[in-house]
Amino acid sequence: MTTEPNDMPPSLHEQALPDVPSPSEMPSRLDSTQIFRGKKTVEIEHGEQRYTLRVTKDNKLILTK
């Protein structure tokens, strides 16, 4: 009995690859030291709004409006 090609598992080159974002779709990455420059808080203006980004004592980030 012969096996039909559709009954065979796909080879590695036929398996679907996960969607990988193109470089233009990748988010920008900044190190927090570039943002804070030795401070614990920074203000961010976004449109008409002003936000505060701060580092907690547990070294976590909190963004508030």
In a domain, 38, yes or no: yes
Provide the pLDDT for residue 19. 77
pTM beyond 0.75: the answer is no
Overall residue count recorded for the chain in this entry = 65
Domain of residue 39 covers: 29-65
Task: Specify the pLDDT at position 6.
Answer: 62
Per-residue pLDDT of the chain (65 residues), as tens digits, is 555 556 666 665 566 777 777 777 778 899 999 999 999 999 999 999 999 999 999 999 999 99
Q: Considering only CA atoms, which of 36, 39, 56 is closest in space to residue 64?
A: 56
Number of domains making up the chain:
1
pLDDT of residue 20: 74
Please tell me the predicted confidence (pLDDT) of residue 10. 62
DSSP 8-state class, residue 64: E
Q: Say which CATH number the domain at 47 has.
A: 2.10.70.10
For residue 24, tell me if it sits in a domain.
no
